[in-house]
Structure 1
Amino acid sequence: MTERPPLLLVDAPSLYFRAFFGIPKAAATAPDGSPVNAVRGFLDMLATLIRTRRPDRLVCALDYDWRPQWRVELLPSYKAHRLSPTGGEVVPDELVPQVPLILEVLDALGITAVGAAGYEADDVVGTLATTQPGPVEVVSGDRDLFQLVDDAKPVRLLYCGRGIAKLQDCDDAAVQGLYGVPAEAYADFAALRGDPSDGLPGVAGVGEKTAARLIERYGSLAGILAALDEPGSGFAPGLRAKLLAAGGYLAVAPTVVRVARDVPLAELDTALPPAPADPDRLLALAEKWNLAGATRRIVDAMSGVRG
């Protein structure tokens, strides 16, 4: 029996930030001079993904809350370095108006985009990866999503840290090859190692190799912490002292790092349409914003999946 085509779950902020910084603003402008580099780049990334992965379902996940209060209450440093003076996320001024335009184009195409109050795009992806039928392919440049990889379902991460043209198609063996831990242990590993990009301090003096070695020996962060009080558990005195000193952080960090898998989402249509839902509106948007080439490429990719 032929395996069903995948559900493609796209971490939209990860891609449109990458597009904004990867394409010079002067190279993609609307007739009035407004930059549309993030929009054009995002659409071209989607077109490439649709053409090469040939999904029959596609959902773009959105950040309705890039720094959820429930995570901040557990760990005040979470993404604190990204706060603007007004309290929001630091986002380039020329990217801000492009995000609603991306959503307009997706709506005209008929591609579902969804977010949830109090949750990040990662959490929406995690919930859909857990609740929707497989196979699932997650597209993101966020390393936290390695934790979603699941060979049994299967769920794979198409990691775009080096760009869409150089995707790393990751199963559990790939995660182990990269970090020395299985995907199911990645959140504990990340909590131990820390991640400055998310404001996670980690355990002082514990890097990737030590974190992986501890996970390999004790199975999980809970197993590591339980072993600290056991005689003959094999911890070097210095490492044991570091782990005990970080006890407060380690009590909350895994919950902060773990992607939510139970976000309350309304019923949604995951099907990738073979043609735009509103071709007239799509044409109007393409003309107004100088997106004719990008919209043509994604429409061609959509029609090619069923061709």
Structure 2
Amino acid sequence: MLLDTASLYFRAYFGVPESVKAPDGTPVNAVRGLLDFIARLVQDHHPDDLVACMDADWRPQWRVELIPSYKAHRVAEEAGDGRADVDTEMVPDTLSPQVPVIESVLDAVGIARIGAAGYEADDVIGTLAGRAAGPVDIVTGDRDLYQLVDDRRGVRVLYPVKGVGTLQTVDEAVLREKYGVDGAGYADLALLRGDPSDGLPGVPGVGEKTAAKLLAAHGDLAGILAAVDDPASGLTPAQRKRLDGARSYLAVAPKVVRVASDVPLPPCEAALPSAPRDPRALEELSERWGLGSSLQRLLAALSH
């Protein structure tokens, strides 16, 4: 089981009231919400291995160099001068201080936590999913990872519909029914239609349905681009003009949209622990941050 950790703690933050606080009054809603999420996932799915995948770089420079608008609207502005700080993502003021607490608690519990300099959590997930010898469940609220779904290898996405108590299992049948593509085709669909939440412009005039029809007719992005040069391909004059005008974007978009599968990762012990790695540190963290029943639920799930 591979967790898109930031996706889950953002959901926890917005799903658990800020009135959930540490003894000193600091909000810990994201911390406790994430612990409850992981406890429920372990209890319901019994993974052998579990890795909390982290964003060491939420907006890698190599992606920005290819598409400068990539996640640009999420960049926080430095106070006073209005200049964007490319290293800082807009994160709610009361969430940022909770992230180091989450990391410390995961480490003390003994849940593997991996990030890689210059890469997003998605890339870590893509690399680990590609290396896995057996089935993989990817837990994320980010549809970008649908591109990794692969029935043959047993890779599926568990997409939280409401908390993590209600998860939609996304396999190739679900993708074909909803989007008309399989996992391998989802990245091409995404880059053609664009994604405002990631600052991806897409091809003007090509929405999700048109993108799905183009892929159904021509197979993949390379097939669509070949069709632009073929008068007998069946493309309308408007489609041909739009696609031809977007060639420079389509030349770089695949590298930006497709998750990396070759990230250099540090070694880690991914086996799910049955008992805390550092009980003393965990006890101190629990008292300091008032983790109470959320931590107990996680430890109970791990021990069964």
TM-score when normalising by structure 2: 0.96
Counterpart position of 2:65: 73
Counterpart position of 1:146: 146
CA displacement 1:203-238 (0-9 Å, x = unmatched): 111111100001111110111001110121101111
* Aligned-partner Cα distance in 2 for 1:237–1:161: 40
The aligned amino acid for 2:166 is K
Answer yes or no: is the 8 Å Cα contact 2:37–2:163 preserved in 1.
no
Runs of 4+ off more than 4 Å: none
SS in 1 for 2:89: coil
What is the Cα deviation at residue 163 of structure 1?
Answer: 3.0
* Aligned-partner Cα distance in 1 for 2:223–2:217: 9
* Aligned-partner Cα distance in 2 for 1:221–1:56: 37
Counterpart position of 2:125: 125
- Matching of residue 56 in structure 1 with residue 41 in structure 2: no
Q: Which runs of 5+ in 2 are unaligned?
A: 79-84
Counterpart position of 1:234: 234
What is the Cα deviation at residue 161 of structure 1?
Answer: 4.6
More off after superposition, 172-181 vs 156-165: 156-165
The aligned runs of 1:189-268 (5 Å cut-off) are 189-268=189-268
SS in 2 for 1:57: coil
SS in 2 for 1:156: strand
SS in 2 for 1:25: coil
Counterpart position of 1:36: 28
* Aligned-partner Cα distance in 1 for 2:246–2:161: 30
* Aligned-partner Cα distance in 1 for 2:258–2:161: 20
The aligned amino acid for 2:288 is K
What is the Cα deviation at residue 22 of structure 1?
Answer: 1.2
Counterpart position of 1:279: 279
Counterpart position of 1:13: 6
* Aligned-partner Cα distance in 2 for 1:105–1:267: 20
Q: Which runs of 5+ in 1 are unaligned?
A: 1-7
The aligned amino acid for 1:12 is T
- Matching of residue 289 in structure 1 with residue 289 in structure 2: yes
The aligned runs of 1:151-170 (5 Å cut-off) are 151-170=151-170
Q: Which one of the candidate residues 63, 74, 79 is aligned to 1:82?
A: 74
Distance 1:122 1:161, change over 3 A: farther
What is the Cα deviation at residue 93 of structure 1?
Answer: 1.2
* Aligned-partner Cα distance in 1 for 2:33–2:45: 18
- Matching of residue 103 in structure 1 with residue 103 in structure 2: yes
More off after superposition, 162-171 vs 76-85: 162-171
* Aligned-partner Cα distance in 2 for 1:261–1:140: 17
CA displacement 1:140-159 (0-9 Å, x = unmatched): 01111000111111111101
* Aligned-partner Cα distance in 2 for 1:42–1:249: 37
Answer yes or no: is the 8 Å Cα contact 2:15–2:163 preserved in 1.
no
Counterpart position of 2:82: none
Q: How many residues align?
A: 296
SS in 2 for 1:201: coil
What is the Cα deviation at residue 282 of structure 1?
Answer: 1.2
The aligned amino acid for 2:289 is W
Counterpart position of 2:181: 181
- Matching of residue 47 in structure 1 with residue 35 in structure 2: no
The aligned amino acid for 1:210 is T
What is the Cα deviation at residue 171 of structure 1?
Answer: 1.1
* Aligned-partner Cα distance in 2 for 1:164–1:174: 19
